Amino acid sequence: MKDTESPLGPRPKLLPIAPKAAPGRRHLPLAQGARPVDQYWRPLYAVWELTLQCDLACRHCGSRAGRSRPDELDTRESLDLVDQMHAMGVKEVTLIGGEAYLRKDWLVIAKAIADKGMELTMTTGGRNLDDEKARAMKAVGFRSVSVSIDGLEPMHDALRGVKGSWKAAFRALKSLKAAGIPVSVNTQITRPGLTQIEDTFDLLVQAGVHAWQVSQTVPMGRAADEPDLLLEPFQVLETMAVLYRIKKKADAARVRIWPGNDIGYFGPYETMLRGNMPRGHMSSCGAGRMTLGIEANGAIKGCPSLPTREYTGGNLRDETLKDIWERSEPLRFTRERTVEDLWGFCRTCYYAEDCLAGCSWTSHVFLGRIGNNPFCHHRTLELLREGKRERMVLKTAAPGEPFDYGIFEIVVEDWPADELARARELVATPEGFLLHTERAQAGIRARFEARAQDLPDSVDYD
Amino acid sequence: MARHTHIPCTQCARHVRATDPQCPFCGTAITEAQRLSVASAPSLSHRLSRSAMLAVGASLTLGACASTTSGDRDGQVTADARPDAMDEGTIGALYGDPGPAPEYGAPPPPPMDAGDSDGGPAPRYGAPPAPVAV
């Protein structure tokens, strides 16, 4: 395969698409007591995987969703968790999956959240979110629902693994709006999808979204099996240029851009993208400080995206949420971090003390540890000044479990001469894409359209 | 550890430490007026919802562009306070307000009374949104 044809070919068969998840780890150790800093930080925002069951088969799914976990919380346990979150001061809960609406009692749990006065939101693929569900969601108090849309139709369907996913996502937006629920969209930027993001955004504006959350695909779960889906660090230059262009459209349309914590950092567009945050810029990883991640079996993490194995602090069947939040080591890691915990480029960076290497998830799933993040606008610009760029090379494949990851290595290299000139132009203007990306587009688009013809109409994991 | 207050450079838009005499990226001098216009790192927004935090951020941004607020402007907060001496302000200033945007989450809902003053799209430097009542 030529380098210029970055593809999304047939799905890899080496690992199971939807493995049966292992039961959650139990009886994890907690510290003897809570420190002031542990009691200071409160989970303001909780993201709750209600079930791992899913009606899509996304090729970039970090949790390898499809089948339910074998040990998901029952209704009584879930309602108890709602009470505990409220007591802890959680202000907003986003329900995710798998697909949250596939759980029979999902509206019972959702209503309990809203009844406690917590803002209730949801992220969904929208495959089977119809008018009836939307009306029921309005009745229980959903404040906003975000539908995942990753590109134009052939690309989105190929990524989501089911024919008709794109049309269903837009139907879901329509149903939600008709029911009176504000709608937003989550988009993951993949390498083959990068050049479609602006056209996709135009369609989202037409669909009437109030906000757009954008992240990049990183190698967790199924995405770890497909390195061709992943952006290279040097492509941050393109990503940020795309976001700059989209931001201008978004301001005109009064659509709020909500960059995920993996987008940034501290480049010339930081104020444009995060100027309305309290500090006027990003402020390092919020896992375990304001953010709480809950897996369907009661496993508690500081952020929903983090790998299960290393970042589960405890299980609700063993300890209270408060005890896990305050006394588990995996939830404490951002509370007293310093520059001493950083390594590589990030260790000596001008922004080190404030950024602390940005998104922990991104660092960990690429490099196996936090503290060094090559997907950084500032870093890419600094390297560009020296004519250098970074690429990621897969060294160890993922084992095939939910929320697993492989190990990559950073390669620092010279920019090819023609790309170096183009990269500098892209920074200055910021229009267009790198030459490599432009050359690859025709092939990619044709391949996606071909792949879309072969997709199943639905998935049945059992 | 020290955390810094950052000011966007008026020339290149990069964030510059308020203690630096000039932008390390383009050499533009940081003026005293710019230093004075930066609001202190907020320490209360960690008790707010994300949508309320955005509203606070929008109003701070507005304030930062027009403010003549006074106070300690050294741009740094030292982190040698003992844990038992920490209060909300101290820790908030030390660790900042990250404004959670986990990739598996969703954008916050719009304010209940969203209209033209919803704190909406993030402003570019020098073009803040309409004031927001908080």
Q: Tens of pLDDT along A220-255?
A: 999 998 888 999 999 999 999 999 999 999 999 999
Check CB contact of A123 with chain B, cutoff 8 Å: yes
Amino acid identity, residue A347? Answer: R
* pLDDT given at position B45: 52
* Distance separating alpha carbons of residues B18 and B82, to the nearest angstrom: 26
Mean pLDDT is lowest, of A408-412, B48-52, B115-119, for B115-119
pLDDT at B4: 84
User: Span A250-277, mean pLDDT?
Assistant: 92
Model confidence at A266: pLDDT above 70: yes
Name residue A340's amino acid.
Answer: E
> Inter-chain contact A278–B60, Cβ cutoff 8 Å?
yes
pLDDT tens-digit readout, A107-158? 999 999 999 999 999 999 999 999 999 999 999 999 999 999 999 999 999 9
Query: At A22, which amino acid appears?
Result: A
Q: Tell me the three state secondary structure of residue A186.
A: strand
Instruction: Look at residue B127 and tell me whether its pLDDT is greater than 90.
Output: no
Predicted local distance difference test score (pLDDT) of residue B121: 30
Residue A398 has pLDDT above 80, yes or no: yes
Under the banding of pLDDT at 50, 70 and 90, the label for residue B126 is very low
Assess whether pLDDT exceeds 70 at residue A100: yes
Name A28's Cβ contacts closer than 8 Å, sequence gap at least 6: A312, A313, A314, A315, A318, A328
The pLDDT score that the predictor gives to residue A3 is: 37
Residue B112 pLDDT greater than 80, yes or no: no
In this predicted structure, what is the pLDDT of residue A401?
84
Q: Which residues of A touch B12 (CB under 8 A)?
A: 268
Q: State the Cα–Cα distance between residues A334 and A42, nearest whole angstrom.
A: 13
SS3 state at A135: helix
Judge whether residue B18 has pLDDT over 60: yes
Check whether B99 has a pLDDT greater than 80: no
- Calpha distance A283→A281 (Å, rounded): 6
Q: Which residues of A touch B103 (CB under 8 A)?
A: 188, 215, 218, 260-262, 305, 359, 361
**Global ipTM:** 0.89
Query: Do A290 and B98 count as a contact with CB atoms less than 8 A apart?
Result: yes
Model confidence over B23-66: pLDDT tens digits? 999 999 999 888 877 755 454 455 677 877 776 665 655 444 43
pLDDT band at A419 (very low <50, low <70, confident <90, very high): very high
In three-state secondary structure terms, A282 is coil
Look at residue B60 in the predicted model and tell me its pLDDT. Answer: 54
Q: Residue B123 — pLDDT band, cuts 50, 70, 90?
A: very low
pTM, two decimals, is 0.89
Q: What is the per-residue burial (b if ≥16 Cβ within 10 Å, else e) of A427-440?
A: beebebbbbbbeeb
Residues A431-452: tens digit of each pLDDT = 999 999 988 887 877 777 787 7
Per-residue pLDDT, averaged over A28-48, amounts to 95
Cβ–Cβ gap B125/A278 under 8 Å: no
DSSP A400-452: SSTT-B-EEEEEEEEPPHHHHHHHHHHHHS--S--HHHHHHHHHHHHHHHHHH
Residue A279 to residue B97, Cβ atoms within 8 A? yes
Q: What is the mean pLDDT of chain B?
A: 60
A-contacting residues in B 37-76 (Cβ below 8 Å): 41-42, 45-54, 56-58, 60-61, 64
* Candidates B11, B12, B15, partner chain A, best to mutate (most A CBs within 10 A): B15
Q: Are A24 and A320 in contact (CB under 8 A)?
A: no
Given a contact cutoff of 8 angstroms between Cβ atoms, the answer to whether B86 and A39 are in contact is no
Give the DSSP letter string of A209-271. -SEEEEEE--SBGGGGG-GGGSPPGGGHHHHHHHHHHHHHHHHHHT-EEEE-TTS--SSTTHH
Contact present, B106 and A146 (Cβ < 8 Å): yes
Classify residue A116 by its DSSP letter.
T
Tell me, what amino acid is at A242?
V
From chain A residues 159-188, the ones with a CB under 8 A of any chain B CB are 182, 184, 186, 188
Q: Whole-angstrom Cα distance, residue A447 to residue A7?
A: 7
Determine contact: B131 vs chain A, CB below 8 A.
no
Nearest to A188 by CA among A37, A379, A56, A367: A56
Q: How many CB pairs under 8 A join A and B?
A: 242
- CA dist A54 → A97, A105, A125, A455 (Å): 7, 15, 9, 16
Please provide the average confidence, as pLDDT, over all residues in chain A. 93
Local confidence band at A310 (pLDDT 50, 70, 90 cut-offs): very high
Instruction: State yes or no: pLDDT of B95 exceeds 60.
Output: no
